[in-house]
Amino acid sequence: MSNSKISAAAFADTKPHYDLLDGLRGVAALMVIFYHVFEAFATSPIDQRFNHGYLAVDFFFILSGFVISYAYDDRWKTMTTKDFIKRRLIRLHPMVVLGAVFGVIAFCLQGCEKWDGTQVSVSSVMAAFLIGMFLIPAVPGTGPEVRGNGEMFPLNGPSWSLFFEYIGNLLYALLIRRMSTRALAVLVGLAGVGLASFAVFNLSGAGHLGVGWSMVDYNLPGGFLRVLFAFSMGLLISRVFKPVQIKGAFWICALAIAALLSMPYVGDGEALWMNGLYDSVCVILIFPILVYLGASGKTTDKHSARICKFLGDISYPLYMVHYPLIYLYFGWVKKENLTFAEAWPEAVALVVGSIVLAYVSLRLYDEPVRRYLTRRFLQVRK
């Protein structure tokens, strides 16, 4: 086997799988959909009833760091940085492309208009589509920023977190994996202080950590702090992990995630630091504990094992394909000036439709494409 080419078999996941973490990722992805549905009926982050779903991204980053460390830390003697990057691109990027495709379809169905009704040219739509496929952020106020609300990826908003996920993966491959556990702990501590300061001192302008989706104001440094802390924390947990005995870990952690991410805005909107403190406690203290407990637990029956597998399988596709449907729903609600009481049946249909679309995308697109790319780019060189 050539040193420059590693076979797919060499990358096979032969280690025990953390089924519960897959299930928890799916639970968090569902909470993101609920959060986005309720955005259609809010006038600000403060009055949104189903509020803290944006923190699911920090939970995803911690999970990602944990899994990356577990899967790759002991492979670097036979794996190059190029090999690692190829594997991560094969795992993540097909759904980035499909999300952009669904995004441009949804935008065209809405008449190719900005939120204020301004018509958008075909060339701008195509530019937004191209930069979305290649995860190049749209600069606010430029042609590719087609919705006019400052999104980095206006055809499929959640792609912003993949932008930072790629940054986390590159930092791991180029730098963090070489750090000692003590140095990594120092990095996590410093990033945690920075993240808490960002939230408590209200650099987001709304007393929360729901930043990173735009290039406006402090979004970019906020997004970088989120991935730096959470991804590094996941790496650190993996390095020091020793399972503890816990029964019902999945159900305990799933209920905790659901409760934390559906919590109303903390405070009355006057003391914004209170909500910032809540976000900081969730991300810096509670989420790492939930990941640790989830990794410690095991599925004890076929029923829970199937639930975790299904949720894990659809979690990433669900996250990447649901938002074009949200755009359509949001536009309809605003145009008709509807309340949730009037639009809840369509909200239920949106959630169910997103799950079905995610499953179909997984089976008919994501898995076949990843199998092909693995054969094509990770084969043995003879």
Report whether 64 contacts 165 (CB < 8 A): yes
What DSSP letter does each residue of 171-240 carry, written as one string?
A: HHHHTGGGS-HHHHHHHHHHHHHHHHHHHHTTTTSSSS---SSBSSTTHHHHHHHHHHHHHHHHHHHHHH
Q: Is residue 13 scored above 90 in pLDDT?
A: no
Whole-angstrom distance, CA of residue 122 vs CA of residue 129:
10
| Averaged pLDDT, 338-350 | 97
The mean pLDDT of the chain is 93
From residue 224, alpha-carbon distances to 105, 144, 211, 228 in Å are 30, 23, 9, 6
Q: Is residue 2 scored above 60 in pLDDT?
A: no
Q: Check residue 342 and give its pLDDT.
A: 97
pTM of this structure: 0.94
Q: Is residue 354 scored above 90 in pLDDT?
A: yes
The kind and range of the H/E element at 30 are: helix 19-39
Residue 334 is encoded by which pair of tokens?
């605003």
From residue 41, alpha-carbon distances to 37, 164, 248, 264, 367 in Å are 8, 28, 35, 14, 36
Q: Check residue 17 and give its pLDDT.
A: 82
Q: Check residue 201 and give its pLDDT.
A: 96
For the segment 223-265, what is each residue's pLDDT rounded down to a tens digit? 999 999 999 999 999 999 999 988 899 999 999 999 999 999 9
From residue 49, alpha-carbon distances to 200, 259, 278 in Å are 21, 13, 16
Q: Is residue 283 scored above 90 in pLDDT?
A: yes
Whole-angstrom distance, CA of residue 228 vs CA of residue 186:
12
Whole-angstrom distance, CA of residue 249 vs CA of residue 20:
8
Q: How many CB atoms lie within 10 A of CB 39?
A: 18
* Range from 14-23, 63-72, 198-207, 340-349 carrying the lowest mean pLDDT: 14-23
Whole-angstrom distance, CA of residue 242 vs CA of residue 370:
32
Whole-angstrom distance, CA of residue 175 vs CA of residue 172:
6
Query: CB under 8 Å to 89, separation ≥6 — which residues?
Result: none
Share of the chain above pLDDT 70, in %: 95
Q: Check residue 10 and give its pLDDT.
A: 40
Whole-angstrom distance, CA of residue 129 vs CA of residue 99:
10
pLDDT band at 308 (very low <50, low <70, confident <90, very high): very high
Q: Check residue 146 and give its pLDDT.
A: 97
Residue 283 is encoded by which pair of tokens?
């991300």
When computed from its CA atoms, the radius of gyration of the chain, rounded to whole angstroms, is 21
Q: Check residue 8 and give its pLDDT.
A: 38
Residue 156 is encoded by which pair of tokens?
């499929």
pLDDT band at 14 (very low <50, low <70, confident <90, very high): low
